[in-house]
Homo-oligomer: A and B are copies of this chain.
Amino acid sequence: MTVVIIVGTTETASIPGLSAAGATPELVAHTPAADAEIVTYGRPVLAPTLPVSPTGCPTPAAITRAVREVVGFDLIVIEAGLVGDTAAPTIHAAARPGADIRTSVAVPHANTIVRTAYELGRSIPAPELIVGESIPGGTTTALGVLTALGESHGVSSSLPENPLALKREVVETGLTASQISPGDVEGDPVDAIRLMGDPVLAALTGFVRGARTRGVQVTLAGGTQMLAVAALLRHGGDSSPIDIATTPFVVRDPSAGIERAAAELDVHLHVTDPGFDGATHPAMRAFSAGEGKEGVGMGGALYLAEREGVSMQQIRTRFVEWYEQEVVEDGS
């Protein structure tokens, strides 16, 4: 199996209170590079730090890595607007970091990214792909894109208390700056991304469209950001069934309403429970309490492990070993 992780950044993430993808706001921008390195090597290499939330919840990249160590899969990282260096081998999608969606244009070169990523998706030989992402602030840009398209679905959050009111305010400011109203770019996914999205959504949309054109079986791995990708595909005229693999932590989030949205977009939802509920270990307890929830392909990796007949106990054990090694020992 091949897992693709598309990583990038948006200035939107620097709005205070939006994202839990980093211990401090300064470190958030480096989280996608660190995530790519963790899935590749098991730990950050050139990225300055291990991504943990302000309260200590580790990045979901650790669970994707645990699955990689137990199950094994080929990894392709696509670079869609990183800041700073990464030691993870990446394919470039002609992207730069995205602007704050509160400005008039969020991704000026959205069309170029979509086309470049489409060509990659159409070219890379693989019968089946699981596609995940890492971009702090990504649920806010997902809400921006959904709103611009006229889709009224909610979005999830990496924080236990979803700052949905703040997200809606940010999106409203962005729509005004872009001089559009909700639904104005219905049927135009590239314009929705250009005005209200981020470079990772652009690369996801192009890549997945390209792969599906060639008949590749694609599973989108993630929560509401992947729902936004599904909406972008639908608005681009793709009416074939879409698969999303995610975690129970997203499904449980009432503000996301992912099950209803999935039904409306004709998306088949695969939910794999890693069995963190009731765990005493802090690494699992944080996820169980609704932090992190999803990201860096976590839901898709768990789905793969389940399909391969690997027990969740094995994944949990590996994840806890990793946490003890990388967070507790290195952080002490």
- Find A46's partner among B41, B86, B87, B119 (CB 8 Å cutoff): B119
Q: Which of B43, B46, B125 contacts A45 (CB 8 A)?
A: B125
Assess A90 versus B90: contact at CB under 8 Å? Given A46-B123, A124-B45, A125-B45.
yes
Q: Give every chain B residue within 8 A of A124 (Cβ-Cβ).
A: 41, 45, 87
A18 within 8 A of B: no
CB-contacts of A61-85 with B (<8 A): 75-77
Cα separation A41 to B77 with both chains bound (whole Å): 14
A88–B91 touching, CB < 8 Å: yes
| Number of identical monomers bound together in the oligomeric complex | 2
A106-127: which have CB < 8 Å to B?
119-120, 123-126
Classify the secondary structure of A's interface with B: loop
A89 within 8 A of B: yes
A300: Cβ under 8 A from any B Cβ: no
The answer, yes or no, to whether A42 is at the interface (CB within 8 Å) is yes
Residues of A within 8 A of B (CB): 41-43, 45-46, 75-77, 86-91, 119-120, 123-126
| 13 sample A-B contacts, Cβ–Cβ < 8 Å, listed by A number | A41-B124, A41-B125, A43-B125, A46-B120, A46-B123, A75-B89, A76-B89, A77-B89, A88-B89, A88-B91, A89-B89, A89-B91, A90-B90
